């Protein structure tokens, strides 16, 4: 199966970096696009003026994500990076729909109850709600 538009949510955990590696190995191509997304959990929105550390965290995440993206220049038709604030499930779903993702590759932490132990709650919710294909990987 060919997937031209790939989305990889990155939280910089070992599991999400494994998903990034899988995207590189299996789906990089001159006609394919890669979107890397980092979500900062927030119920208040991206900018909270009273919290300068929060703004520093956002810039740090943007820089780290851009560095990952730069490692892929030339391997993909286009690589984009996005940092958003909100509920991870909602941000991943919105980005996948907005970007027209054909495949979302997610790393699973595997914590919590049985379904959560198998997939992770965010991964489970995204896979259940998305209309495109979802590939789940665990860190080795």
Can you list the positions of beta strands (E) in 1-140?
A: 5-9, 33-41, 78-86, 103-107, 133-137
pTM: 0.85
pLDDT in tens, the chain (140 residues): 789 999 999 999 999 999 999 999 999 988 999 999 999 887 544 445 545 546 778 889 999 999 999 999 889 999 999 999 889 999 999 999 999 999 999 998 655 544 444 456 888 899 899 999 999 998 76
- Cβ contact 7:35 at 8 Å: yes
The pLDDT of residue 115 is: 46
CA distances (Å), origin 111, targets 26, 40, 96, 118, 122: 27, 19, 24, 8, 10
């Amino acid at each position: 199966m060919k997937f031209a538009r790939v989305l990889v949510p990155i939280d910089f955990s070992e599991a999400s970096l494994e998903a990034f590696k899988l995207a590189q190995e299996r789906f990089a191509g001159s006609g394919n696009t890669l979107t890397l997304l980092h979500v900062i959990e927030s119920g208040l929105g991206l900018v909270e003026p009273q919290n300068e550390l929060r703004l520093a965290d956002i810039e740090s995440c943007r820089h780290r994500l851009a560095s990952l993206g730069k490692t892929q220049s030339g391997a993909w038709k286009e690589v984009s990076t996005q940092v958003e604030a909100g509920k991870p499930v909602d941000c991943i779903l919105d980005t996948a729909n907005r970007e027209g993702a054909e495949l979302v590759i997610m790393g699973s932490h595997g914590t919590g109850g049985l379904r959560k132990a198998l997939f992770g709650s965010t991964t489970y919710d995204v896979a259940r709600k998305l209309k495109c294909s979802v590939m789940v990987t665990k860190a080795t």
